[in-house]
Amino acid sequence: MPPRLELRNITKSYPGIIANDDISMSIMPGEIHAVLGENGAGKSTLMKIIYGAAQADSGEIFCDGKPIAAHTPATSRALGIEMVYQHFALFESVTVVENIALAVSSSFDLDTLARQITELSNRYGMPIDPYRRVHDLSVGERQRVEIVRCLLQAPKLLILDEPTSVLTPQAVVKLFETLRQLAAEGCSIVYISHKLDEVQELCDTATVLRNGKVTGTARPKESTSAQLARLMVGAELPEMHVSPSVPSDKPVIEVRGLTAPARDKYGVELKNVSFEVRGGEIVGLAGVSGNGQAELISLLSGERTHANALSIQIGGKAAAHLNASERRKLGMAFVPEERLGRGAVPPHALWQNAVLTAHRSGLVRNGLVDRKQANSFAAKIIERFKVKANGPQSSAQSLSGGNLQKFIVGREIALEPKLFLVAQPTWGVDVGAAAFIRQTLVDLSRSGAAVLVISEELDELFEICDRLLVICQGQVSPPLIRTKTNREEIGLLMTRVDRGNGTNGRGEVAIQD
Amino acid sequence: MAAPVIATVLTLLVGSLLFAVLGYDPLATLQAFFITPLNSLNGLSEWLLKASPLILIACGLAVGFRANVWNIGAEGQLIIGALAACGVGLFYPNPDSWLLLPLMFFAGAIAGMAWAAIPAFLRARMNTNEILVTLMLTYIATLLLSWLVHGPWRDPAGFNYPQTALLSAAAMFEPFDYAYRLNASVFITVVAVFLMWLFTDRSFLGYKMSVSGAAPLAARYAGFRESAAVWTGLLAGGAAAGIAGMAEVSGPLGQLSPQISPGYGFAAIIVAFIGRLNAFGIVLGGLLMSLLFLGGEAVQMNLGLSAALTRIFQGILLFFLLAADFFIFYRLRRIPEHA
Ligand SMILES: Nc1ncnc2c1ncn2[C@@H]1O[C@H](COP(=O)(O)OP(=O)(O)OP(=O)(O)O)[C@@H](O)[C@H]1O
Ligand SMILES: [Mg+2]
């Protein structure tokens, strides 16, 4: 039997960097194959080449023994190859079903397709409403749309580039069941993830890339995650140091009775949210995506303002009516979950993206942008956070996902905030860099800053947080001390069963099926 | 830089074909269009005279366009600027004062900005669409001008022509040479080009506007006010157009009549896009557009081409230029049919 996919000597370079260097590998039908590697190792580039969204400079690709000619995403789809991009490729202004319709090859009518989407997405534990517009969706929901789009096509080869980075644990369990079933039916799967436990659970074989080259192969089920991590990073992971926290007397941010209507009819209403974060501590906000996190974050960051100025106080000052820039003057910094288009301007160079929020740190003088300062500011972030980029001149969109995340986190930390809001801090970041970012967050808090981490990764929250809050259906639980609670308690709070009104059972649906 | 070359070659080919089919000698026509207008001193003077307002206005508009603020009513802002400047020139108590010209300059700028402030206010406060409002205000401005020159401001000694009295010498820019019309107002344009470059390329405010244009969510994330971008964009366009209007009355016109602009305000939109919204490109775009104006007149007078035909030819060139730009960034492909 010929392999489902065979790559021979694939090479691809971008200005200043060889993203893929003579890569060969093959995947049999029904095999679940992991591609592992640090940020910027060239994984996404390789996947885009397999899918035809990028062209290799040299090398050949065979599908079922036949070379693929005139390779484009359309020819790939005709061959049964489907791909979930790391940075989603959805059209913002149209609905989910219209988006999916664009990628479906057979003829269809929208209503039937919508029904299929509803049915399939519920079956796979990733419920989505086909009639919602994509720009209203959270990243987690967009991820589900992408996956469902691929599953609808009954693919022969499925490429998943970090599909679980923003899925709930329950949805991940469901997804894995689905993937195993697909594999049992002969579908080959290429799976990229920085979450090594997932890789161990799911994948039969793995190829490890470093700096664009294949540096090894592994059988994840027979290896420990430390072994895998070493293969990827080429060194042992650093130990985390979490010293005990000494919280300040006064809270740095205080939220009192914050109530806000939903952004739109699919949003979540915030009901009487109260909590505080003191200097010197890290507070984690756990919750299933789509339970009001997006609303809460935009109200905390100042992207949305609130008429009742006192409902949010920063450093003792009423702040709910202030915009993001004014709150930053009070010492706030913020990392949003969308890195492209919100945390960074995609076509702008990194030095320009440094100016975006660091303009108060001497990057602007007499109303003019000081390019030299901006360049050296960006260069420092690149160095300190080991961002793989071709210097401060490279555009944000040319960076690999994890590297852009490192750059944004680095930029915000370099502002030396008193209050640090961060959503999904290690989303898409490799194990080595994730450990580094977590350590940096801990150090930042121990130096006196108040840190609020919004994350769906309970492991991460348990590793670094001093106290935990849980958000569910727009309500935030009282704080729990990390050392006095456990995953089960948090998990229960995250999926509190909604009595009576059935409009908001999303968290619930995710575990029921 | 390939786009303009491709566009030019295509235009020359299609244009020659068009002229040939209609029975004109293509070479002679093209020469009359692009070369003859420039081989006299007067031609050069006219070329710069017409390029100047186009470049000036395009610079102002591009500031807004970069932030997705679509001011397409520069024509109206130009008219209002001309009105205000001329009003000052006509009614200032001392018609020989050296203060007159500076006063008219500011009157033009402020009036243009005020006219643009209406859509800015409506968009910032009530989220109305500035494309519609600026366009509609252009019609109002045209009618206002018409009413003034037919009514209250009509020159009593003007044989009932709908025009104002001539401005005094102190209200006019001095021509470099009285044989030609080109005057000192081109320096305003030179300064505007520099300011535009400084603003978009170096200033923090210009940076914020480019963020608003490229990624509105990032602008919100950073706390750059959308309303600031709207106001800056519209006021810059309004000021530039108002000043261009002032330079017209204080330059070639010397008085107001119902028709004071051959569509500079609209043509400047195209100039801004041909110049890819950057200062240097806009200079080239303005020079090209001005040459098209002149060449169009020249072939009508010298070779008897119809006005419609010259307009078609101008349209072809602009179309190819903008399309070539588009296809540099996007690729059109046939998608294979699926079963
Ligand atoms: N369009 C592009 N232009 C220039 N350089 C690029 C482009 N796309 C990718 N690169 C570079 O190629 C390298 C590999 O990027 P790639 O996205 O494949 O990494 P990755 O392994 O997927 O990383 P991550 O885990 O962070 O997603 C990176 O150094 C990146 O900066
Ligand atoms: Mg990637």
The token pair at A353 is 């993206």
> What are the DSSP calls for A150-187, one per residue?
HHHT--SEEEEESTTTTS-HHHHHHHHHHHHHHHHTT-
Distance from CA of A69 to the nearest CA of B (A): 14
Residues A195 and A316 in one domain: no
Mutant choice from A327, A334, A345 vs B, greatest count of B C-beta within 10 A = A345
Distance from CA of A98 to the nearest CA of B (A): 18
| Residue range A469-496, pLDDT digits in tens | 999 989 999 999 988 888 888 888 887 6
**DSSP category for residue A250:** S
| Residue range A289-330, pLDDT digits in tens | 778 888 999 999 999 999 999 999 999 999 999 999 999 999
Residue A244 lies inside a defined structural domain of this protein:
no
Strand partners, A451: A282, A420
Residues A215 and A322 in one domain: no
Strand order of the sheet with strand A251-260?
A: A270-278, A251-260, A312-314, A317-318
Instruction: Give the span between the Cα atoms of A54 and B31, in whole angstroms.
Output: 46
The CATH number for A120's domain is 3.40.50.300
Mutant choice from B221, B232, B338 vs A, greatest count of A C-beta within 10 A = B221
Residue A240 lies inside a defined structural domain of this protein:
no
Radius of gyration from C-alpha coordinates of chain A: 23
Residues A181 and A259 in one domain: no
Instruction: With CB atoms and an 8 Å threshold, state whether A341 touches B218.
Output: yes
Please report residues of B whose CB lies closer than 8 A to that of A328: 223
Residues A169 and A311 in one domain: no
The token pair at A6 is 């065979």
Instruction: Give the span between the Cα atoms of A219 and A212, in whole angstroms.
Output: 20
Residue A238 lies inside a defined structural domain of this protein:
no
Instruction: Give the span between the Cα atoms of B214 and B199, in whole angstroms.
Output: 17
- Domain boundary (A203, A233, A263) is at A233
Q: Which of A11, A400, A407 to mutate to test the pocket of ligand 1 (most atoms within 8 A of CB)?
A: A400
Residues A105 and A205 in one domain: yes
Per-residue pLDDT of chain B (339 residues; tens, 9 = 90+): 567 778 878 888 898 898 899 888 889 888 888 898 898 999 999 999 999 999 999 999 999 999 999 999 999 999 999 999 999 999 999 989 999 999 999 999 999 999 999 999 999 999 999 999 999 999 999 999 999 999 899 988 888 889 999 999 999 998 888 888 999 999 999 999 999 999 999 999 999 999 999 999 999 999 999 899 999 999 999 999 999 999 999 999 999 999 999 999 999 999 998 888 999 999 999 999 999 889 888 888 888 888 888 788 888 888 888 887 777 666 555 555 443
Does the pLDDT value for residue A159 go beyond 50? yes
Q: Which of A14, A23, A430 to mutate to test the pocket of ligand 1 (most atoms within 8 A of CB)?
A: A14
The answer to whether B215 and A342 are in contact (CB under 8 A) is yes
Residues A225 and A293 in one domain: no
Within 10 Å of residue A486's Cβ, how many Cβ atoms?
Answer: 11
Residue A261 lies inside a defined structural domain of this protein:
yes
Radius of gyration from C-alpha coordinates of chain B: 21
Where does A15-167 show beta strands of DSSP type E? 17-27, 32-37, 58-63, 66-67, 81-84, 157-161
**DSSP category for residue A322:** S
Instruction: Give the span between the Cα atoms of A204 and A188, in whole angstroms.
Output: 11
Residues A47 and A132 in one domain: yes
What local confidence, expressed as pLDDT, does residue B7 receive?
81
Smallest Cβ–Cβ distance between A369 and the set B204, B223, B338 belongs to B204
What is the percent of chain A where pLDDT is above 90? 57
Q: Is the CB of A17 under 6 A from ligand 1?
A: yes
Residue A245 lies inside a defined structural domain of this protein:
no
What local confidence, expressed as pLDDT, does residue B330 receive?
63
Residue A175 lies inside a defined structural domain of this protein:
yes
Residues A330 and A229 in one domain: no
The answer to whether A230 and A208 are in contact (CB under 8 A) is no
Backbone angles phi, psi at A493, to 5 degrees: -65, -35
Residues A163 and A287 in one domain: no
| Residue range A186-213, pLDDT digits in tens | 999 999 999 888 899 999 999 999 999 9
Residues A189 and A304 in one domain: no
The token pair at A399 is 């960076």
The token pair at B196 is 């535009």
pTM above 0.80, yes or no: yes
The answer to whether A389 and A407 are in contact (CB under 8 A) is yes
Does the pLDDT value for residue A354 go beyond 70? yes
Q: Is the CB of A87 under 6 A from ligand 1?
A: no
**In chain B, what are the domains?**
40-303 (1.10.3470)
What local confidence, expressed as pLDDT, does residue A498 receive?
44
Tell me how far apart the 2 most distant CA atoms of chain A are, in Å.
70
What local confidence, expressed as pLDDT, does residue A506 receive?
37
CA of A404 to the centre of ligand 1 (A): 10
Residues A348 and A269 in one domain: yes
Tell me how far apart the 2 most distant CA atoms of chain B are, in Å.
82
Instruction: With CB atoms and an 8 Å threshold, state whether A327 touches B223.
Output: yes
Please report how many Cα atoms fall inside a 13 Å half-sphere around the Cα of residue A483, on the Cβ side: 4
Q: How far apart are the first and last CA of chain B?
A: 41
Residues A291 and A211 in one domain: no
Number of domains in chain A: 2
- Domain boundary (A233, A263, A297) is at A233
Q: Which residue has tokens 């009282």?
A: A478
Domain span holding position A274: 251-512
DSSP helix/strand/coil, B142: helix
